[in-house]
Amino acid sequence: MKIGICGICGRMGVSVLEILLARGHSLGAAFDHDGAPSFGCDAGVLIHAESMHVPVAAINAGGIANTDGVIDFSTPAATARLIEIALVKKTPLVIGTTGFSEDGRREIERASKTIPVLFSPNMSFGVNLLFKLTEIASRVLTNEYDVEILEMHHRLKKDAPSGTANRLLEIVKSSMRDMKEAKEVSGREGIVGERTRNEIGVFAMRGGGVVGEHTVFFTAADERIELTHRALSRDVLAKGAVAAMEFLAGKPAGLYSMYDVLGL
């Protein structure tokens, strides 16, 4: 496949580039903002390779038309621009960008009525198994088990909590009985009173070069269940993103997830 990458100068973009080439695909377009360090250069410089004859440029219709699909790890604003052109060109999208507002999510859903879109806050196979295990645990357990979600990422991550943590929160609220209206607590300080049955804690830690760690705690009076995933390399995310683009090949318009790729 000829695959475009939006946000190619970022660490995830570079990882996706390396993985798609290793899997026998080619780079069809390279997009980033004009302040990116390699903007205007050939994309080959990002992986210290020979010229790929694909310049790093702003999102544009000609570049998108030169691809079989685009993998997006950018910003919500850039994704909105990408969607606008992809709808015209009927180009499949794999969206791994996080930090969307409700309006941004609705735009992605609307786009999926016209083009195939795979949208996931985390492309890792392991994290998506964590999503499924959290769903199973939430359906089995009651709110006798207090639920807390902890995530940690590198110091440069801009949004908090992570998109993955927010997805875990959504899963618990939709799957656990009597928790649909649970209060979301992002911090506790001072005399806050006893923890109620109707709250879920979601806490973000930042430091160093941590790729991503997520734990869901189900804690009762006499036992605690912990579901944890630790990413040891960005390659797990990049491999999932490229597999997602391979999955979209030939698919009709629709909103897909990594569950579809994994057959869950």
Q: Which two tokens stand for residue 187?
A: 């911090």
Our answer to whether residue 153 is catalytic in this structure is yes
Alpha carbons 82 and 70: distance in angstroms, whole number = 9
Please say if 157 is a catalytic residue.
yes
Residue from 25, 157, 173, 251 carrying the catalytic annotation? 157
Q: Which of 153, 214, 229, 239 is catalytic?
A: 153
Query: Active-site positions?
Result: 153, 157
